[in-house]
Amino acid sequence: MPAQKKAAKAPVKEPARPITVEDHMELGRRHAERKISAVNDALKFPVGDQFEKDLTEILASEPEASGEIVAIALVDCDEFLHINSDFGTDEGDRVLIAAGTYLKDSLPADAKIYRIGGDEFGIIFRGSMEKEEIFLFLNELKNNYNIVTPDGVRQSITIGMATAFEDASRCAELIRKADSALYRAKVSGRNKVTMAREEKMVPKTSHYTQDQLQRLAKLAKKEGIGEAILLREALDMLLKKYDI
């Protein structure tokens, strides 16, 4: 009588590892990256640091010598977080793609658009448009923005603008001026275009040590720029770090 074959043993399943907080954070990060990529792939705008790199190169080319006007605008989608929370991230992506497409299709030929991050876009104007013309154009851009969410509410955008060599000559300072204008527009009601303005600075006091002030003076001399500009850049980086 033939020997009976032994039944194959079923593979033993390893006990499932409980999902940790770190797992949730990692999954959230990966999901966010996929969503960012989806919007970037649809718009095909330059992203990240390219805005600063291009602006730095433009400012270094001495455009004012040839009579060119250089200005930047930072465009922020108002109340964007509620779109993701109320209607989901797919609707948020749709709004971002529609916003970017609208901005790009509306720009003059000598302007270039970037996706700086999240719901914020950057625009570099370089050419013959005067400062006042750019401001009026941005107002029309804001007024004609007609993207609507599923609840029938028309969305809006807020814009901060700064002009090179009038408001600032360095890239970081020019962006900071435009960002400050954007912030003022947001806190005063949104759905506005605000230009950079002259800033009143407070004198350096006991907030800094003597060693810090000496090192600051040395850096300012080395870079050939004012100490106040360096301090503003440093403070701006601090505020961005803490998302203020």
CB 216 within 8 A of CB 230: yes
Domain ranges of the chain: 35-199, 201-244
Output the pLDDT for position 234.
83
CATH 1.10.3470 fits 201-244, yes or no: no
Per-10-residue mean pLDDT of the chain, 244 residues long, equals 55 54 50 66 93 97 92 97 93 96 96 95 96 96 97 97 95 94 94 84 64 80 80 79 73
Q: Is the dihedral of CA 48, 132, 68, 163 positive or negative?
A: negative
Output the pLDDT for position 210.
72
Q: CA angle at residue 199 from 116 to 242, to 5 degrees?
A: 45
3-state DSSP assignment of residue 163: strand
Parallel, antiparallel, or unpaired for β 120-127 and 69-77? antiparallel
Output the pLDDT for position 14.
52
Residue 144, burial from CB neighbour count under 10 angstroms (0-12, 13-18, 19+): exposed
**Domain spanning 35-199: CATH superfamily:** Reverse transcriptase/Diguanylate cyclase domain (3.30.70.270)
What whole-number distance in Å separates Cα of residue 73 and Cα of residue 122? Answer: 6
What whole-number distance in Å separates Cα of residue 8 and Cα of residue 4? Answer: 12
CB 237 within 8 A of CB 229: no
Output the pLDDT for position 31.
47
3-state DSSP assignment of residue 148: strand
Output the pLDDT for position 19.
53
CB 176 within 8 A of CB 72: no
Output the pLDDT for position 51.
97
